């Protein structure tokens, strides 16, 4: 009995997805709920589990291809085939017939011709050993790849490398440019003395980020316009506070959301942020976990950065950047003292928020961070 694998609906507003990687080869046995392939959309990258135990009999959509929701991606035979002859990487596979010479798609042949790639020297990763467009792109991108014929006028020199765009990178690029074109970006900077937090963290497994989230949510309650969006009829002030945490991945960025962050204590915030970040990096997030944010925090100080002018995550109207916390000499009560200080930046949409309002919000965030009593919100 065969079963079709289709591109799932990964969120209400998602219309298409990109097949990033097949995790099981054609002919490989797959267990129910075992990860079958990696899919990337404009909002999330995640692994799709197999709906049944069986054999992956056919791959229809190749790696690197973007297709609409509902497109058939592959076929699984729910009864494993008997002609199993060997094991590769822990997966049982069937032998595949070599690709007949010249049996290539027009796109593959044209790309190979343009870049002088000898198709007979390319190992195909597609169904039945078929050479895919991504195979050709990989050959072109690798320095020293076997090529024949004179290079075309547009070909890169051997001292350069072409890294093909991923769907996530294209989406990030489009959204950053669109945000700049949409919002009137302004950034204001504040500095916060984190001595009270540093003392409270002693002996506790807490980073600075939960304290920042807590300070931000308290300040939002007093300056609610920061937690809003631009609407056709007016400013849409959000009653719920869902804080997005920008999370760097190896090949891009995701913003998982801590829902109702204002209702959670430091310990719960720390656990939830760590869990979301780990699952973002391992592609285990659900689409719902990267949607619905009302305010975003980006912790760019993890690698030592002090200042940043982050771009607003649409359709929100503000984003807070957190720089590295470092000990610096400051003047306190007419005396020089050493304190762990951190710079905070707020990029805001000047269509919605005026400078005075932004500074009022940041002054409250600073005040909450500099308080000395944190025990009551653990």
- Which residues are catalytically annotated? 350, 354
**Could you tell me the CA-to-CA distances from 348 to 24, 110, 245 in Å, in that order?**
45, 47, 17
Give every CB contact of residue 322 below 8 A, 6+ residues apart in sequence. 208, 209, 212, 297, 298, 299, 300, 301, 342, 344
At 203, is the secondary structure helix, strand, or coil?
A: coil
Token pair recorded at residue 223 = 């300056």
* Residue whose pair of structure tokens reads 């790639």 in the numeric block: 117
Neighbours of 9 (CB within 10 A): 13
Q: How far is CA 196 from CA 39, 271, 316, 369, 370, in A?
A: 44, 21, 31, 8, 6
Phi, psi angles (nearest 5°) of residue 271: -65, -45
State how far the alpha carbon of 176 is from the alpha carbons of 200, 214, 310, 315, in Å: 37, 27, 10, 12
Phi, psi dihedral angles at 180 (to 5 degrees): -65, -35
Strand partners, 21: 38
DSSP code for 94: -
Strand ranges for 149-299 from DSSP E: 185-193, 228-230, 235-237, 243-245, 247-249, 252-254, 257-258, 295-298
Facing residues of 83 across strands? Answer: none
> Nearest-CA neighbor of 104 among 132, 139, 125, 128?
132
């Amino acid at each position: 009995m065969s079963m079709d694998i289709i591109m799932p609906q990964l969120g209400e507003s998602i219309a298409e997805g990109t097949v990033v990687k097949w995790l099981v080869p054609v002919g490989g046995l797959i267990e129910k709920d075992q990860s079958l392939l990696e899919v990337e959309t404009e909002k999330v990258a995640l692994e799709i589990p197999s709906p049944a135990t069986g054999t992956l009999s056919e791959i229809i959509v190749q790696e690197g291809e973007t297709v609409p929701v509902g497109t058939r991606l592959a076929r699984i035979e729910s009864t494993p085939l008997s002609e199993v002859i060997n094991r590769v990487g822990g997966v049982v596979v069937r032998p595949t017939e070599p690709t007949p010479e010249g049996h290539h798609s027009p796109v593959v042949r044209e790309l190979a011709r343009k870049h002088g790639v000898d198709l007979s020297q390319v190992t195909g990763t597609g169904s039945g050993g078929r050479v895919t467009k991504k195979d050709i792109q990989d050959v072109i991108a690798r320095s020293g790849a076997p090529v024949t014929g004179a290079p075309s006028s547009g070909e890169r020199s051997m001292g350069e490398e072409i890294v093909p765009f991923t769907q996530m990178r294209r989406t990030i690029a489009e959204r950053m440019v669109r945000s700049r074109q949409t919002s009137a970006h302004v950034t204001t900077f504040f500095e916060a003395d984190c001595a009270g937090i540093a003392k409270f963290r002693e002996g506790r497994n807490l980073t600075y980020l939960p304290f920042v989230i807590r300070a931000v949510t308290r300040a939002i309650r007093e300056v609610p316009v920061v937690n809003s969006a631009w609407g056709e009829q007016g400013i849409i002030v959000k009653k719920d506070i869902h804080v997005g945490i920008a999370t760097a991945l190896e090949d891009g960025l995701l913003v998982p959301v801590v829902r109702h962050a204002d209702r959670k204590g430091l310990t719960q915030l720390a656990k939830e942020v760590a869990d979301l970040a780990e699952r973002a990096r391992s592609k285990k997030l659900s689409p719902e976990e990267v949607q619905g944010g009302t305010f975003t925090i980006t912790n760019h100080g993890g690698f030592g950065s002090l200042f940043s002018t982050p771009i607003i995550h649409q359709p929100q109207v503000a984003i807070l950047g957190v720089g590295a916390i470092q000990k610096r000499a400051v003047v306190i009560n007419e005396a020089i003292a050493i304190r762990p200080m951190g710079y905070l930046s707020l990029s805001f949409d000047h269509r919605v928020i005026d400078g005075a309002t932004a500074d009022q919000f940041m002054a409250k965030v600073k005040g909450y961070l500099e308080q000395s009593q944190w025990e009551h919100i653990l």
